[in-house]
Amino acid sequence: MGYRLVTGVQRSRSADGRAVIRKVWHNAGWRHLWPVPLLLTAVIAAATALMQVPGLDWGWWSAMGGDGNPVFGSSQATAGTMWEWLIPVLFITLLLPALPLFAYAEERLFRTGAEDWSGQRRALKVVQFGLIHAVIGIPIGAALALSLGGAYFMWVYLRRYADTRDRVDATIESTTAHAVYNVTIILIVIITVMIGALA
C-alpha cells in the first residue's frame, strides 16, 4: 500500500496526473456530494450485516494484528503511542494528492465501456470492484459491501454516457463521484483521529 501511495504522489506531479486531477475537481459539485451520506450509510449497513457471516469477517490486515482500515496503517502495536495518530496522518498526507488518480484508475478498469456490456458483466464488474479492496486487507464482508459503491459509480457512469455519448466524459463523471466519496471518508477519519488524539 505504501508503494502505491508513493507512486500515486509521483504521478500526481506529472503533467498527465495534474490534468486528470484538475478535470476531476473542476467537475465536482453538489450532485456528487449529496448522495455520499446515503451511500456511506448503505455501505456501512451492508458491511455490518455481511461481517456477521462466518469467514466474511476475515482480512489479512486484521489477521496480522492491524486495526481499522489498512490504508491508514492503524495497528494494535502502535496503540497508545504517538504512532497511533502519526502513521494515519502520514498515510493520509500521501493519499490526498493522488486520490483522484486512484479513483480514475479504478473507474477506467471497472466502468469505462460499460455502455456496451451485458447486465451480467456489469454486475460482475460491480462485485469485482468491491472484492479488489480485499487485496489491501479489508475484510471480505466489508469489501463485498463496497460493491454498493461500485453499483452507484456504475449508475453515474451510464447516466452521463447516456447524456453525452462520450466515454471519457462519463469516466470523469464517475471518477468525480468516486473521489468525492473517498474524500468524505478521509475527512471522517481525520476528525476521528483528531478526537482520539485529544481524548
Name residue, grid cell 504521478: 11
d(CA 174, CA 169): 9
d(CA 98, CA 41): 25
Residue 2 has pLDDT above 60, yes or no: no
What cell does 31 get? 450532485
Cβ pair 177, 156 in contact under 8 A: yes
Of 137 and 199, the structure prediction assigns the larger pLDDT to: 137
Give the pLDDT confidence of 152-165 residue by residue, as tens digits: 999 999 999 999 99
What cell does 179 get? 473521489
Give the pLDDT confidence of 71-129 residue by residue, as tens digits: 555 566 666 676 666 777 777 777 788 899 999 999 999 999 999 999 999 999 999 99
State the average pLDDT for the chain: 87
d(CA 143, CA 166): 30
d(CA 123, CA 175): 18
Q: What is the structure's pLDDT at 10?
A: 59
d(CA 147, CA 159): 18
pTM of the predicted protein model: 0.86
Q: What is the DSSP letter of 139?
A: -
Beta bridge partners of 75: 66
